[in-house]
Amino acid sequence: MPPRLDFDRAFYIKLGRAGKWEESSIESGLMRIGWSEVALSDITNAKWKRVRSIISHIKKGQGATTTDYNALRMICDSKEPDVWITFYSSRLWWCQLTNETVCQDDISKYRRVVGGWRDEDLDRRPLLLSRVPGQLAQLQGFRGTACRVHDVGLLRRLLNAEPSPDYEEIDRARDVLVDRIAHAIGNLHWKDFEILVDLVFRQAGWRRISQLGETMKYVDLELEEPVTRDRYQVQVKSRAGLAEFNDYATQFSPRGFRKLYFVVHTPSDDLANGSSLENVELVRRRELASMVLDGGLTRWLMDKVY
């Protein structure tokens, strides 16, 4: 894992009007900016009174002038280790700027980025918009060019892949609950266990295309994912060992089916320490317990073990 990011200041930037420089900036490792009316020499020579005067002739009103001028100063004055973020292609992207001054090419003024823009945290997990906290995601609605990120601690944790205390507490509680669910599954009657497996997959949105428990060699369930139309097979066993698992894995044909799930209630010691194979996934009691919790079937299980 790369060294931890340590920064006290962070900023959001909109890469061009309506995002017109998003792709160009990210692909070229630059932060492209506007202010075409302002001479590059005025910026590099820090003639800020002149720059503000030029902006005031473009913007309507003192407030708009101040906002635009401050945004330009943020960009020009920023140095490492400041962090800059933007949003593109349903992801949060972040970078740090080199200490070089503002430059200009045929497209726009720009500042260079250290090592390029990144859309992953330090654990290499994609920074998908769906996992970006709302306090940061709401910056997409900012109407200006650039602004400060006020909750720097939240961004620092996100980029460093450091969970919050609330997350860690919930995660510990979830582990305890999964353990209790797994123990309860071990007390299910065989037929109830078979029904639970069926419910888990159907709760995930898959359609059963066979009868539950229908007499089919090497398979108890056939399922279809309704969007992709991919088909899956499920074998449910009360007891099984590694040799039996390998036998089913050998017999499984991916022709017409994407994967076989081998779900076992009570695995032998060798199977308990076994692992999934290509196209054949081993689902033991604890893995199933996690699926039960995620699928909202805890209450059903509680009724069965009351």
Collapsing DSSP states into helix, strand and coil, what is residue 128? strand
Question: Residues 128-164: pLDDT tens digits?
Answer: 999 999 999 999 999 899 999 999 999 999 999 999 9
Q: Residues 6 or more apart from 184 whose CB is under 8 A from it?
A: 301, 302, 305
CATH numbers and ranges of domains, the chain: 10-159 (no CATH), 166-304 (3.40.1350)
How far from each other are the two terminal CA atoms of the chain, in whole angstroms?
A: 46
pLDDT exceeds 70 at position 216: no
Higher-scoring residue by pLDDT: 59, 6 = 6
- Reported as a pLDDT band with limits 50, 70 and 90, residue 212 is low
pLDDT band (50, 70, 90) for residue 254: confident
Report whether pLDDT(59) > 70.
Answer: yes
Q: Is the pLDDT of residue 213 over 60?
A: no
Instruction: Tell me what pLDDT residue 96 has.
Output: 97
Q: Report pLDDT for 1.
A: 65
pLDDT at 249: 87
Q: Is the pLDDT of residue 60 over 80?
A: no
**Mean pLDDT for the chain?**
93
The Cα 103–Cα 96 span in angstroms is: 16
Give the phi and the psi of residue 75 in degrees, each rounded to 5: -65, -45
Tokens at residue 180, please? 């209790």
Distance CA 113, CA 100 (A): 10
Note the pLDDT of residue 236: 93
Q: How far apart are CA 59 and CA 74, in angstroms?
A: 18
Q: State how far the Cα of 272 lies from the Cα of 242, in Å rounded to an integer.
A: 8
Tell me, yes or no, if the pTM score tops 0.85. Answer: no
Cis upstream peptide for 226 (omega within 30°): no
Instruction: Report the pLDDT averaged over residues 105-118.
Output: 96
At 276, the amino acid letter reads S
| Res 16 pLDDT > 70 | yes
Percent of the chain exceeding pLDDT 90 equals 84
SS3 236: strand
For 250-262, the DSSP string reads: HH---TT-SEEEE
What is the tens place of the pLDDT at every residue in 18-38?
A: 899 999 999 999 999 999 999
Would you place residue 173 in the very low, low, confident or very high pLDDT band (cuts 50, 70, 90)? very high
